[in-house]
Amino acid sequence: MTISAERCRQILAAAQGTRVLVVGDMVVDEHIIGHSTRLSREAPVPVIERRGHLFVPGGAANPAYNARSLGSDVSVCGLVGDDEMGDRLRRILDEAGIHTAGLATEPSRPTSVKLRVWAGGAGQMHYQQVARVDVSNREPMSEQSQQELLLYLEGAIPEYGAVIISDYESGVVDAPILEYVLSSAERHGKRVIVDSHGGFARFQGVTAVTPNQPEAEAELGMSMDDDRALESGGNELRARLGCTHLLITLGGNGLALFSRDEPMKRVAAHSVPGLVDATGAGDTVASAFTLSLLGNADPVEAAEIANAAGAAVVSRLGASTTRPEEVAAMLEAAGD
């Protein structure tokens, strides 16, 4: 660990109020939380007695929520349906102080929802995810919605310091939207950070791409199961994409940073006691890396802050956010 907690505080303080635009697939993460002490008589499944019911921003709304929690001025650009979940997501984002003028409503398209059911037992048993039900539409967006988003982006991109593209392959990051974002960002000198579930070849020449290890392996068609393979594969993927930085998250093994003309930098994982739920951790990493760059961090400092931010959220159930002081505290604990 090379960055101190104090340096982390300085960087994230410098990032306060910086402007970030998040473009991508908006999702509501719904969580039903309960206790289970018996199996159903009708089928070999647990009977869940509901104790809690949560709705939090998911998909591209999650990096926006994280960037806002870390102190940025954030806007979102994407689609919601003309339905209860779309209204709910707008309210959640509005209440967090995230600008939603870039959300287009497409009546024929349901708002994407990922419902997770969590169950815990008696005593000290940790909660575990026992079921997930998704509502999604992967069809192309309507021409009207596309034009509405393009019109919004035309006015928005020049006003923001960085653009996060969050692609969950649900139709928003299509060819015309992506082409416009990349060309406009280049024209106006804006950083572009990409958090995508695949198809990385589309994102040529961006500031950073932040896949997890399975996504990077799928793109390369090879396993990266040791340091030599990781370094070789990471360097190849970064060169193939022409991006300035490639940040591969490695789950419980931390992350690896690949930068142009620099050797691979490994950042070790932080110790996280108790529950570990990686839902949305990659979104947190992308947001923290972006804000750190806007706060004048060098790439290694930004990677270490992003790694600590990701560790801070995996100890909470479902997609979560962190704040600057929590990130600094993770680094402080690691230095003890």
| Residue 240 and residue 258 in contact, taking contact as beta carbons nearer than 8 Å | no
**List 261, 277, 283, 336, catalytic entry:** 283
Gap between the Cα atoms of 153 and 102, Å rounded: 8
Gap between the Cα atoms of 48 and 266, Å rounded: 41
Gap between the Cα atoms of 150 and 5, Å rounded: 40
Tokens of 9: 């505080």
| Residue 302 and residue 292 in contact, taking contact as beta carbons nearer than 8 Å | yes
Q: In what order do the strands lie in the sheet with 99-105?
A: 99-105, 73-80, 19-24, 162-167, 191-196, 208-209, 245-249, 255-259, 265-267
Q: Please say if 283 is a catalytic residue.
A: yes
| 3-state SS class at 43 | coil
Gap between the Cα atoms of 279 and 58, Å rounded: 9
Gap between the Cα atoms of 29 and 14, Å rounded: 31
Instruction: List CB contacts of 315: < 8 A, sequence separation 6 or more.
Output: 272, 273, 274, 275, 276, 277
Gap between the Cα atoms of 125 and 115, Å rounded: 22
Give catalytic residues, as residue numbers.
283
